[in-house]
Structure 1
Amino acid sequence: MVNQHNNEGSMVKHRHRHEGPQKHVVAFIFSIVLTAIAFATVAAGGVNTAFTVILLIAMAILQVLVQLGYWMHLKDKGHMIPIIFMAGGFFVAGLCIIAALYWMWW
């Protein structure tokens, strides 16, 4: 980000650096690789069920982080409020899931 001041100092212009497509291409390839790993694990068929579930959850979490970071631009500066609200939403959703599981098995 570049700040430019005129002679009076009253006007400030903000310019954002253009990232270019390189980071988006890398994020897209990483997303494809994560999807391929998850698909191959399920398609193999002979893999332990517990391992498959854990691997799928891990791939899903990584996929969400890539999507939020690169496609939704949450890695950029100035996106703390959306991150806080999403973290709060994940916290509430986690509490609801824990409460539902507790309610079903108690």
Structure 2
Amino acid sequence: MAAEQHTRDHGVKRRHRQEGPQKHILIFILSAVLTLIAFAAVAAGEVNVAFAVILLLVMAVIQVFVQLGYWMHLKDKGHMMPIIFILGGFLIAGTCIIMAMYWVWWE
């Protein structure tokens, strides 16, 4: 039964589309390049500190989207609940960070 294809009301058989290894290899290379760019920005001593921090934050955000979208398969259909829970976690974590910063600097 698990190997059989599911049929719809119209009798049309549909297959689950599988991704090939090519896309995974490209995403792995993209992740490695993003990591190397961030490492190179820190390893180079002549880079402005503000530019390095901004570059690291941008690389981190891009890396998060790549990791969640491709390695955690959140780009696929039917993954709305994990996306909602992850966004809820970001909202709670962001609120805690903002409140902690406010609490530390509040006079």
Scaled by the length of structure 1, the TM-score of the pair is 0.86
Scaled by the length of structure 2, the TM-score of the pair is 0.85
Which range is displaced more, 71-80 or 15-24? 15-24
Shift of 1:15: 3.3
What residue number does 2:33 align with? 33
Q: Which structure is higher in strand share? A: 1
User: Does residue 1:4 correspond to 2:7, yes or no?
Assistant: yes
Inter-CA distance 46–16: structure 2 relative to 1 (3 Å threshold): same
What residue number does 2:93 align with? 93
Aligned residue type for 1:4: T
- Structure 2 unmatched ranges of 5 or more: none
Shift of 1:12: 9.3
- Structure 1 unmatched ranges of 5 or more: none
Q: In structure 2, how many angstroms separate the alpha carbons of the residues matched to 1:38 and 1:95?
A: 27
Q: In structure 2, how many angstroms separate the alpha carbons of the residues matched to 1:61 and 1:45?
A: 23
Identity of aligned residues (%): 68
Shift of 1:45: 1.2
Q: How many residues align?
A: 101
